Amino acid sequence: MPFSLIPHRVLAQYTQVTPALLKKLGVRLLLCDLDYTLAPKSVSRPDGALHAWLEELRAAGVTVMILSNNRSSRRVETFCRDLGIRYVGHAGKPSRRGYREAMAQAGIPPEATAMLGDKLLTDVLGARRSGILALMVEPLGGPVGVWNHVLHLLQRPCKAISKRRCMTL
């Protein structure tokens, strides 16, 4: 079982995941974390920028789904209903179960799938264990609370390694 905490790409935020980048990476299914990836946790409904981004990906033939560990099914449900996309809730990342379920629902194999998220120990680790691309973003709206600030600092070295590798590709 592969074990790596190094994301394949680190981006400032989700809007940098463009149809052109996904085409280059061969990605047809994009699994997205919700909190701090597509919206700060304090935001309860998707905004216009998120709708527009999703529309661009849809038009390019990319399937987008949410893969969330959020304890509130209502929050994930509301977001996905507004966006018109499917989701796997209580995903238990970094377990491979949710990743497999999402890929099975979409009918798209691991080679054409990527995970987009802000946390190494859940989003990135689960993606690497599942054999899919791990795209990492900085926490949207910035880290909130002491624990998230500490986590953010601890994640820095792995992100730095990823950025160095990308520059030498």
**Binding residues for Mg ion (CB under 5 A):** 33, 35-37, 118
The residue among 112 and 128 lying less far from Mg ion, judged by its C-beta, is: 128
CB of 167 to Mg ion, least distance (A): 26
Dihedral angle sign, alpha carbons of residues 57, 59, 61, 67: positive
CA distance between the termini of the chain: 25
Tokens 């280059």 correspond to 24
d(CA 11, CA 134): 11
The residue among 37 and 63 lying less far from Mg ion, judged by its C-beta, is: 37
CB of 74 to Mg ion, least distance (A): 17
CB of 58 to Mg ion, least distance (A): 22
The residue among 14 and 112 lying less far from Mg ion, judged by its C-beta, is: 14
Backbone angles phi, psi at 153, to 5 degrees: -65, -40
CB of 123 to Mg ion, least distance (A): 7
The residue among 112 and 137 lying less far from Mg ion, judged by its C-beta, is: 137
CB of 37 to Mg ion, least distance (A): 5
The residue among 67 and 133 lying less far from Mg ion, judged by its C-beta, is: 67
